[in-house]
Amino acid sequence: MDMTTADLCDSHEALFESGSLRVLTPMFQQYGGAKRFCGPAVTVKVFEENGLIRDVLNTEGGRRVLVVDGGGSLRCALVGGNLGEIAVARGWAGVLVFGGVRDREEMSQCDVGIAAIGMNPRRCARGSGGQRDVTVALPGATVRPAEWIYADLDGVLVSGSELKWKG
């Protein structure tokens, strides 16, 4: 990825007017070893359990981004170092969590993007509830399966199509 989210915003200003390009509310912090990541979204919606997240990350990532709508809960962590290692091994570009994560030091050693809204050392339940491949409403924008996610230290963009940097 040779662009920044700021460059993409500048180069594709007209897409904001059409709604094809959106910015998530600036609350996501970077925890993974890759500080920039992009790819088509795979979406899951869960609440305080991560069995479905583990199941999806154990599939071939294909440089996609797993977008997790965890309801914004910070009462426990949905992703940690073990899932970060699985994401690397299976070829995911990144994991974006609207919820908590843990194992900051371990995640920082994983060559994958991991962004979330906060930390909590408590693990979540191991249940397998939730939904996959659904539209999720995150602060600032909705994310539909296969839309493109662009994330770096400046923020997170959601695009209806793959963007080419015009820099």
Q: Could you give the domains of the chain? A: 5-159 (3.50.30.40)
Q: Any binding-site annotation on 82?
A: yes
Tokens of 90: 């299976």
Task: Answer yes or no: pTM beyond 0.85.
Answer: yes
Please answer whether residues 97 and 68 qualify as being in contact, where contact means their C-beta atoms are separated by less than 8 angstroms: yes
Q: In the prediction, which pLDDT does 128 show?
A: 85
Q: Any binding-site annotation on 102?
A: yes
Which residue positions in the chain have pLDDT lower than 50? 167
Q: In the prediction, which pLDDT does 3 show?
A: 77
Q: Any binding-site annotation on 81?
A: yes
Q: Any binding-site annotation on 55?
A: no
Q: In the prediction, which pLDDT does 132 show?
A: 98
Q: Any binding-site annotation on 103?
A: yes
Q: In the prediction, which pLDDT does 167 show?
A: 43
**What's the CA dihedral at 95, 100, 106, 108 to 10 degrees?**
60
Question: Which residues are within 8 A (CB) of 40 and not within 5 positions of it... i.e. 6 or more apart?
Answer: 64, 65, 146, 147, 148, 149, 162
3-to-11, 17, 108 alpha-carbon distances in Å: 10, 21, 21
Q: In the prediction, which pLDDT does 165 show?
A: 62
Q: In the prediction, which pLDDT does 83 show?
A: 98
pLDDT for 133-159, tens place per residue?
A: 999 999 999 999 999 999 999 999 999
